[in-house]
Amino acid sequence: MNHQPTPQTGKEKNPNLKKISGIKMESIGVLMTCPMHKYLEQQLETHFNLFKLWHCNSSITEFLKTHQGNTIRAVVGDTNIGADAELIASFPNLEIVASYSVGLDKIDLRKCEEKGIRVANTPDVLTDDVADLAIGLILGVLRRICASDEYVRIGKWKDADFGLATKFSGKSVGIVGLGRIGTAIAKRAEAFGCSISYFSRSQKPFANYKFYSNIIDLATSCQILIVACALTEETRHIINREVIDALGPKGILINIGRGAHVDETELVSALLEGRLGGAGLDVYENEPEVPEELLGLGNVVLQPHVGSDTVETSDAMADLVISNLKAHFSNKPLLTPVI
């Protein structure tokens, strides 16, 4: 999702307040919604007047008991806690929401647009890592790498043969959402000789892959289905029982999007009943809760939402958040604006 930046509307803010000569940036109140990354926290503390919502039990109500709501001019949120209508309403001087994520599903974009609040995210810097993990999940599931590591560690190698896995090279890959991340996944899968097809809101003119306007047709045609789209009202539970059945008992589902993309109950029963061959999941409907039934399965790989969790990318995302905030409060264009 990539909105074009719109001019500020609604409540007129006094532009003089933003000039560096008037107010020092270190006094600008920034609310961080939850612990995300120590380096980001340190940078925010250095450059701004940082408030940490988790010191008030992550409750806005509690925060407002001891802090003035109009102190906060910026919010830094992430995939756990963003900026919903309640938060936005609580901070009348809120000017910008800088998300430590590329996904915007935790931000009430309509409210932000209505109130003239800028929104920035962290696209591009995390594309490689998320795409790498998608391939890592495919190999983990198909080649049973995680299972084989466990097998060796518990001493089973001496007793029995591990058995066969499934080849990855040359398999058919279907991508739901051919954005930055979907395209990066496609490029990598191509290096393994995979055929690529995709489902998207609209056909991409630059993409040399087969387009399906119907996700069931995509699932029927491919063996590995990868969810890489943004979470919106339209894409919630886009992977439902029908899609899972179309993917079939030899099919693998990989989710590096959002947990809510997949009807988790249907996914679990399909795996337990053998109607789906396997799954590689980085996201879940109710993180950090993971359906208990999955914990004992050998044909799934479970990751704790680590798509962009490398030292390099976490730092790069943090730098981008800081740069967007500094740009805004210096009256300069945002580097990665959404609104």
Partner 1 sequence: MAESTDCHKAQQDCPKVLILKPIPFINLVGEQYFASNKFTFLEAYDSSLPLHQFLSTHSPSIKAILSSVGAPPITADILHLLPEVGLVVTTSVGLNQVDLLECRRRGIKVANAGSIFSDDVADFAVGLLIDVLRKVSASDGYVRKGLWATKGDYPLGSKLGGKRIGIVGLGNIGFAVAKRLEAFRCSISYNSRKRKPHVSYPFYESVCELAANCDVLVICCELTDQTHHMINKEVLSALGKEGVIVNIGRGAIIHEKEMVQCLVQGEIAGAGLDVFENEPDVPLELFAMDNVVLSPHVAVFTPESFLDLRDLVVGNLEAFFSNKPLLSKFGDW
Active site residues: 258, 287, 305
- Within a 10 A sphere around the Cβ of 287, how many other Cβ atoms? 14
129 binds partner 1 (CB under 8 A): yes
> What span, in angstroms and rounded, lies between the C-alpha atoms of 309 and 154?
28
170 binds partner 1 (CB under 8 A): yes
In the complex, what is the shortest distance from the CB of residue 156 to partner 1, in angstroms, rounded to a whole number? 8
Residue 96 in contact with residue 107, Cβ under 8 Å? no
Contact region for partner 1 (CB under 8 A) — 86-94, 95-103, 128-136, 219-227? Answer: 128-136
216 binds partner 1 (CB under 8 A): no
In the complex, what is the shortest distance from the CB of residue 134 to partner 1, in angstroms, rounded to a whole number? 10
334 binds partner 1 (CB under 8 A): no
Contact region for partner 1 (CB under 8 A) — 12-20, 185-193, 229-237, 245-253? Answer: 185-193
Q: How far from each other are the two terminal CA atoms of the chain, in whole angstroms?
A: 11
Who's near 126: CB < 8 A, 6+ residues apart?
102, 307, 308, 313, 316, 317
Residue 280 in contact with residue 228, Cβ under 8 Å? no
Number of residues that bind partner 1 (CB under 8 A): 55
Who's near 142: CB < 8 A, 6+ residues apart?
165, 166, 167, 168, 171, 224, 252, 278
Contact region for partner 1 (CB under 8 A) — 46-54, 65-73, 241-249, 305-313? Answer: 305-313
Exactly one of 20, 64, 85, 306 binds partner 1 (CB under 8 A); that residue is 306
Give, in order, the Cα–Cα distances in Å from 97 to each of 88, 101, 137, 235.
9, 11, 32, 23
145 binds partner 1 (CB under 8 A): yes
* 235 vs 299 by CB, closer to partner 1: 299
208 binds partner 1 (CB under 8 A): no
> What span, in angstroms and rounded, lies between the C-alpha atoms of 217 and 295?
30
Eight-state DSSP code of residue 230: P
For residue 156, give the 3-state DSSP assignment.
helix
Encoded tokens for 186 = 């496609």
In the complex, what is the shortest distance from the CB of residue 142 to partner 1, in angstroms, rounded to a whole number? 8
> What span, in angstroms and rounded, lies between the C-alpha atoms of 301 and 134?
11
195 binds partner 1 (CB under 8 A): no
310 binds partner 1 (CB under 8 A): yes
In the complex, what is the shortest distance from the CB of residue 164 to partner 1, in angstroms, rounded to a whole number? 5
Residues 218-237 that bind partner 1 (CB under 8 A): none
Strand partners, 225: 174, 253
In the complex, what is the shortest distance from the CB of residue 289 to partner 1, in angstroms, rounded to a whole number? 6
Residue 269, H or E segment: helix 264-272
Residue 32, H or E segment: strand 29-32
Exactly one of 14, 191, 208, 234 binds partner 1 (CB under 8 A); that residue is 191
Exactly one of 117, 231, 290, 318 binds partner 1 (CB under 8 A); that residue is 290
Encoded tokens for 224 = 């590995």
Exactly one of 52, 67, 93, 136 binds partner 1 (CB under 8 A); that residue is 136
Strand partners, 224: 173, 252
* 183 vs 235 by CB, closer to partner 1: 183
165 binds partner 1 (CB under 8 A): yes
**What is the contact surface with partner 1 in residues (CB under 8 A)?**
128-129, 132-133, 135-137, 139-140, 143-146, 148-153, 157-158, 161-170, 187-188, 190-193, 287-290, 295-296, 301-306, 309-314
